[in-house]
Structure 1
Amino acid sequence: MNRRELLKLTAAGAVAVGTGALGVQVLTVSGSQAAVDTSVTTGERFDETYRGRRIQGAGVPAGRARALAEGGAGAAMPDVVIDGTALHVMVNADGTYTSVANHYQTFRTLREVARAAVDELDGARLVPVRHH
């Protein structure tokens, strides 16, 4: 096998791997969409103590969550509060959530976001995000 044949084989392999990975990602997002929509549609509300911290949350209906994710004006922001301090939560385009405490993870519900933030804080006090 010469160098040119080796390069062709390597390029073909890279294309095959990339195409396969894209297919898996599309199937994963499509498969999780139904679960995300049902939890967000309810306008989730909770008020509980988790690991000694009071967490509270109020969601938004699915249509408003999608409008918010798409940059729509007037869409209500989801509210998550830990011990009286607001946790900055963002709605992703697929209706999942992420927060400043767990910016590289997505969660299906606001309760999951709040609990993950408490886990990440590990006893530390939440400091509010200030936008300038």
Structure 2
Amino acid sequence: MSTMNRRELLKFAAAGTVAVGTGALAVQVLTTSGSQAAVEGTGATGLDETYKGRRIQAAPAGLRAQSRDAAPAMPHVLIDGKPLHVMVNADGTYTSVSNHYETFKSLRAVARAAVDQLDGAQLVPLHHG
């Protein structure tokens, strides 16, 4: 029978922690409802509503046409016809440029939060480069 030194014990503890964390992440990803549910039951065409006098249109990534050579489809959100840059987090929640440090469970929630944040101001499209 061999004895285990402190270094070996720490290696096993670290490996166990990584294994448990990976398993928890896998369970969370597999149980997260699909992006269509993230629009909160708005049907196959996505979201189209008026909130506080602003027109919000949104479609999850799966509803947008995508070519073979294009980058992976991102959710598409428009406020008064102007695009709101929305990012999908690893856990299936959403973040926008107007609320970058807050996460939302649905496209409707992230779009409404952006309208609240704008407080009547017009959305200026984000340009890269």
- Determine which of 108, 113, 122 is the counterpart of 2:110: 113
Is contact 1:97–1:113 with CA below 8 Å preserved after alignment?
A: yes
Partner of 2:121: 124
Specify the code of the residue in structure 2 equivalent to 1:101.
Answer: S
Structure 2 residues without counterparts, runs of 5 or longer: 1-23, 40-45, 63-69
Contact 2:38 2:105 in 1 (8 A): no
Deviation at 1:115, TM superposition (A): 0.4
Deviations 1:11-43 (A, max 9, x none): xxxxxxxxxxxxxxx8xxx5xx84x524x2447
RMSD after superposition: 2.6
Per the normalisation by structure 1, the TM-score is 0.61
Identity of aligned residues (%): 61
Using the TM superposition, give the Cα deviation of residue 99 of structure 1 relative to its aligned residue in structure 2, in angstroms.
0.2
- 1:37 aligns with 33
1:74, distance to aligned residue in structure 2 (A): 3.5
Matches within 5 A, 1:1-132: 34=31, 36-38=32-34, 40-42=35-37, 44=39, 45-61=46-62, 74-132=71-129
| SS of residue paired to 1:106 | coil
Q: Secondary structure at the match of 2:33?
A: helix
Measure the CA separation in 1 of the matches of 2:105 and 2:56. 17
Gaps of 5+ in 1: 1-25, 62-72
Greater share of helix: 1
Paired AA for residue 91 in structure 1: V
